[in-house]
Structures are given as structure tokens and as C-alpha cells.
Structure 1
Amino acid sequence: MRERATRLPTGGRRAGAVTVRLGTRGSALALAQAGRVRDAIVALGEPCELVPVTTVGDVSRASLAQIGGTGVFAGALRSALAAGEVDLVVHSLKDLPVAPAPGLVVAGVPEREDARDALCARDGLALADLPAGAVIGTGSPRRHAQLVDRRADVEVVDLRGNVDSRLARVRDGELDAVVLSWAGLARLGRLDAVTEALPLDEWPTAAGQGALAIEVREADADPATTIGRVVAALTDPAARDGAHAERRVLGRLEAGCAAPIGVASTIGDDDAVLWASVHRPGGGDRIDRRRVVTWAAGGRAEALDAAADALADELLAAGAAELAPLGAAS
């Protein structure tokens, strides 16, 4: 994208402005998420269009563990960005590998949606109320392990497909329940399907769940550029710092995409809580740890980073590497 020296206005579009090309997956959820970012860019006065990109994760029906974990959703988007086919891309942050892509940078994280997982069950049931032998669907190794740890008497089956197709399998009686992210359901207007929200302190979710990541080429992250100014204007500092700390735990653990690990945070004005759980694949055993964080004025990011490192070190000292497949950062 050719750079323009003109500063962003507070509203309206400038005559002759170059359209920002925003890359996204083509699923209904991805388009809904990216559509919010596009609308925010337009509100800043920049014309913007969505450019759908097909990823391996969108076309394969194999389990995420078989096709390489959640990172399969990011590869094609990153390739399009690096090739200059788009100017920025939007990811679900939980789907983005911890390791950065050469020449690219996550420059912005907008305001975060609710990070919790949600149970969507038949007959309005909560997890504790499902009968023994109930069949619950999920494509996440973490959710699989968490379900088994809390309800060893249920059957957990691998599940792929979009949100509507997963919910349809419950509605049609094929499954008793599915576990999905609250954020995805909210963005699609499907919170009516939720029968129980699973609390973060008992059920830590994927690092960065509920947050979006705006990734750009390194040169475009400079606030002096149009893209850099746009992304900075869209960034919520608390969402950015919390999600970064959660992902830092994964990086410290060298956890791959398929490792059954939950990490979550809540961020206050001058304190925060970080939770993490490491599970045996398939469930049956886990290690839980929690850190309370406080900071002086302006020191939130540093305090959260230090807490993330300490939390990961506690997990490793407690035997996390013997419990889960670590040493495979992605």
C-alpha cells in the first residue's frame, strides 16, 4: 500500500483515499469479526474492504491436532499479508501461533469480548446436570481434557465445522452438548444457545480467547504510517496487555498449538489475576496455578509479563512438562 502523509481525520472519508485491504478468513464468524474492524477503520475516515482468504483449516475436516493445530488458520493470511495482497489481517488471537512470522507484527488488539467458554446443551442443561454417558462435542484438546476432568462419565467426541453446524448437531439430537467460545457466539448473535457460561477461574480458556489480533507488515506498524495510526487507534491497551501476558505463559512453557493448556486473565485498574491449567492429553490429571498481580502507575505491561513468567515457572516446577506435550512452541 502506498503511504500518504496526510494525518487521519476524526471522521468522514478523504477524497481520493486509497482503500485499505483487510484480509480475513471467509467463515461467517471470521467475516463478522473482521467486519467490526472494517467498520471501525471506516469510522476513522479510511475506506476499507474485506478480502477473504481461504486457509487449510477452513477446507479440511480433519481434527486440529491432525492438521497442525490452530496455526493452520493463520498461515494463508500471513502469506497474503507478506506478499502485499492485503494491507493488514485480522485473526482470532487464540488461533495465532506464539512465534512471530518473519517481517510481520501483531500491532493491535481491539477491545476484548468475554473470554469464557460456553456450554450449549440440550434442554437448557448445565454441565453438572447432563446425564452420565452424555455426548459432548469439541475440536479443542484443552476443552476435551477439561470436560473429562470435570465429568469423567461423559463421552467427548471430536467436532469440526462452523458454529451453526455444531449447534445444529445438538438441536438435531446427535449430540447432547457442544462447548464453544462465548465471544464467537456473541459476535454471531447466538448467545441464545448458551446454557452455561464456564467461569474463568475454574475453566481457563485458550490464551487470547475473545481477543482479535491485527497483524501488519513491520514497516506499517510505525505510527507515522497510515496503517500504523489506524491500528493504534483501534487498540485497547488492557486487552493487549492481558492477551500478551497469557500468550507469554505459552511461550515460556514452549507449548504447541495442540497442548491442552488453559490461560486466562482479568485486568483491573491497578491489579490483575492470571490463571493457568496444564492437563494430561485426554484428561484425567491437571496442574492449576494462579497469580495476583499489582503495579505502580504505568507499569502494567511489565508487571503482567513478570507474573506470566513466574506462573509458567511454577507450572514447570510442579511437573507440567511431564504431564503435557511441551517443548514444541508454535
Structure 2
Amino acid sequence: MTSPTALKLGTRRSALAMAQSGMVAEQVRRITGRDVELVEITTYGDVSREHLAQIGGTGVFVSALRDALLRGEIDFAVHSLKDLPTADPEGLTLAAVPLREDPRDALIARDGLTFEQLAASPRGARIGTGSPRRMAQLNAWARSMGLRVETVPIRGNVDTRIGYVASGDLDAVVLAAAGLSRLGRLAEATELISPDIVLPAPGQGALAVECPADDAGLVSVLAELDDPFTRAAVTAERALLAALEAGCSAPVGALADPVVDGHITELRLRGVVGTTDGSSLVQMSITGPTPASRDEAVALGHELADEMLAKGAAGLMGEREL
């Protein structure tokens, strides 16, 4: 009897993308008993050397994978969910949002120092990040303590970014804790930054498993990877981002997490928008029911966006992506 054809999983070529996709591939193998072949695809975001804010950010790591799905060259794809545009693509479906990894940002600093120790040095600190969201909140954090940092825009893979610290070019870099964890490098972090200080990007730490909407069998199989709470949380975060009419390169942070009082009672959604120099922030939160349906999660995100816009959030994002 002929064995079932291997499923083709599309992934970016980076070490982190390959690690994330390999995790999902192994789960699909266990569920289906079928082999899963990783198909490496180069995206525009991988080859462009410009900073994400210059090339738009939205979809630059996603479009090539989606095109391959629609052409039938791959069966499904794995993305970092924070890279996904908020608009739903025609012909494709978000089949699964697996259990979320740690959504926090992580500092990797010289000499094992914390952010406050670096910022308190007489010359301040040069901290690298490719994210306007991080720049806004790190600068605001330093301002709140009367300290000085210089946030330096950088790009590159994890090795490249950490290399700026090892070489002495920068005092520290800030990366997603989830990525470090999936690469087995979380121990290199000198500080995990509390969301009370720096809110992560909407969807940070979560993966998105996408496939053709008309492949009912595959949609059903991949749905077994879905974590309902993670999906509700990231749906609320992304609804906030969409309602602010901001792309993934905008200085917007968001996190939906449980309110725990003996047991999980509510879903709290926090959002922040700020100028990259940290001089102005709009930071607010609301709570809603949990477990939340998709409509409830979307409504929560829209409600918080309305409140933030009323407080002047739009003016802090500069030229919004429409």
C-alpha cells in the first residue's frame, strides 16, 4: 500500500522560522501519521536591507508564503503571528493558533546588566531594536527614571543582533523572549521585561498556521493545534491594531491576558501607542469576558481602540498605514 503523500509546510529560511515550523511539523506528524516536508521560501522582508518602517512592515514576511499557498506549491504555512496583516486574506484561513510562548521582550546586555543599570551609567546606554514600539516604551521607561538611553535601529537575525553586543557596538539589544526560547537561547537574556513596563507587539509569542480555506480535511486536522485562549487573546490584540489603522511596524503594543483571582475571571486587554522618543504615550486597558468568542474578542479590541483614539493615540503614530 502506498504511503500518504508528505504534507508540504512553507516556512521562511531563518533559523527561528525553521525552528518554529519544525515544532508545528512534528505536531502535525503525530496527529496525522504523515510526513511533513519543510519548504523554505524567501520573503521580501528577508532580502530587503531597509528597516521595516521604511518598507511598510505589514506583510513583508508573509506575502510570499501566502502566494505559494494560493498556487498550491505548499499545503500550509507557519508564520509569527505578529507579522500577519490584520486583514483576512481571500482564499486562506487561519486554521490554528497554537499555545502561546512567553510574549515578553527580553534584554541581552553587556556584562549581564539590567536596563536600569545600563541607563544609570554616566554615559547612558545604546540599545538596539528594529521596533518603533520598543523604542517608544524603552525611551519612556528611561525618562520616567530621569535616565538616558539611545535607541538604535537595527535589523538582522538573532545572531546578528546579539553580535552587536558581543562586539561592543551596542550596550544591549531587545528581542522577543519567545524567539530566544524556541532557539534554546533564552538563558542569554539578562532581563525579561515586564509587560507592566513594555507591552509586546500584538500577537507576539504566538504562531499562525494558515492553509487554503477550501481544504476542509486539512483545516480540520490543523484545528487540533489550536489553543482557544491564545486565539481569543491575539484576536483582541489584533482587533485593537486594526481599529487603530496601524500596521505591524507602528509604535503599538498590546497584550490580552487573564485576570486571575483564584481562577481566571476576565480577559484584560492593555494597549499603548507612543512617539518613538518616549515623550508621549497613550496607555489604557479594559476587561471583558473569558472565555471570549471571536466577536467578543474583536469588540474588546475595538472598544479599547476607540478609547485610545479619543485620548489622542492617532496623533502619536505619525502617518498611519491605511
TM over 0.5, shorter chain? yes
Distance 1:261 1:201 in 2: 15
Match of 2:57 in 1: 69
Partner of residue 209 from structure 1, selected from 204, 211, 214: 204
Q: Give the conservation status (yes or no) of the 8 Å contact 1:256–1:325.
A: no
Partner of residue 59 from structure 1, selected from 41, 47, 51: 47
TM-score, length-scaled by structure 2: 0.92
Q: Is 1:99 equivalent to 2:94 in the alignment?
A: no
1:326 CA drift (Å): 6.2
- Partner secondary structure for residue 60 of structure 2: helix
Q: Give the conservation status (yes or no) of the 8 Å contact 1:256–1:326.
A: no
1:68 CA drift (Å): 1.8
Deviations 1:45-84 (A, max 9, x none): 1221100100111112211111221521011111111111
1:240 CA drift (Å): 0.9
- Partner secondary structure for residue 79 of structure 2: strand
Match of 1:16 in 2: 3
Partner of residue 34 from structure 1, selected from 7, 21, 26: 21
Q: Give the conservation status (yes or no) of the 8 Å contact 2:132–2:251.
A: yes
AA of the residue aligned to 1:140: S
Q: Give the conservation status (yes or no) of the 8 Å contact 1:262–1:277.
A: yes
AA of the residue aligned to 1:278: V
Partner of residue 81 from structure 1, selected from 58, 62, 69: 69
Distance 1:294 1:100 in 2: 24
AA of the residue aligned to 1:235: D
Deviations 1:149-174 (A, max 9, x none): 12251111111111011112112211
1:293 CA drift (Å): 2.2
Counterpart mapping for 1:142-221 below 5 A: 142-152=133-143, 153-220=148-215
1:179 CA drift (Å): 0.4
Q: Give the conservation status (yes or no) of the 8 Å contact 1:255–1:325.
A: no
Deviations 1:158-212 (A, max 9, x none): 1111101111211221110000000000000111111111111321111000000
Distance 2:167 2:58 in 1: 28
Q: Give the conservation status (yes or no) of the 8 Å contact 2:269–2:301.
A: yes
- Partner secondary structure for residue 207 of structure 1: coil
TM-score, length-scaled by structure 1: 0.89
Distance 1:326 1:303, change over 3 A: farther
Match of 2:313 in 1: 320
Q: Is 1:284 equivalent to 2:284 in the alignment?
A: no
Q: Is 1:241 equivalent to 2:232 in the alignment?
A: yes
Distance 1:282 1:85 in 2: 44
1:325 CA drift (Å): 3.3
Deviations 1:97-139 (A, max 9, x none): 1112221121210111000001111111111110243111001
Deviations 1:236-255 (A, max 9, x none): 11111111110010111111
1:300 CA drift (Å): 4.6
Distance 1:256 1:215 in 2: 20
Q: Is 1:47 equivalent to 2:35 in the alignment?
A: yes
- Partner secondary structure for residue 184 of structure 2: coil
Distance 1:129 1:201 in 2: 18
The runs of 5 or more residues in structure 1 that have no matched partner are: 1-13
Q: Give the conservation status (yes or no) of the 8 Å contact 1:254–1:326.
A: no
1:302 CA drift (Å): 4.1
The runs of 5 or more residues in structure 2 that have no matched partner are: none
AA of the residue aligned to 1:116: R
Q: What is the root-mean-square deviation of aligned Cα atoms in Å? A: 1.7
AA of the residue aligned to 1:229: S
Q: Give the conservation status (yes or no) of the 8 Å contact 1:278–1:288.
A: yes
Match of 1:140 in 2: 131
- Partner secondary structure for residue 59 of structure 2: helix
Distance 1:119 1:148, change over 3 A: same
Number of equivalent positions: 310
1:327 CA drift (Å): 4.8
- Partner secondary structure for residue 119 of structure 1: strand
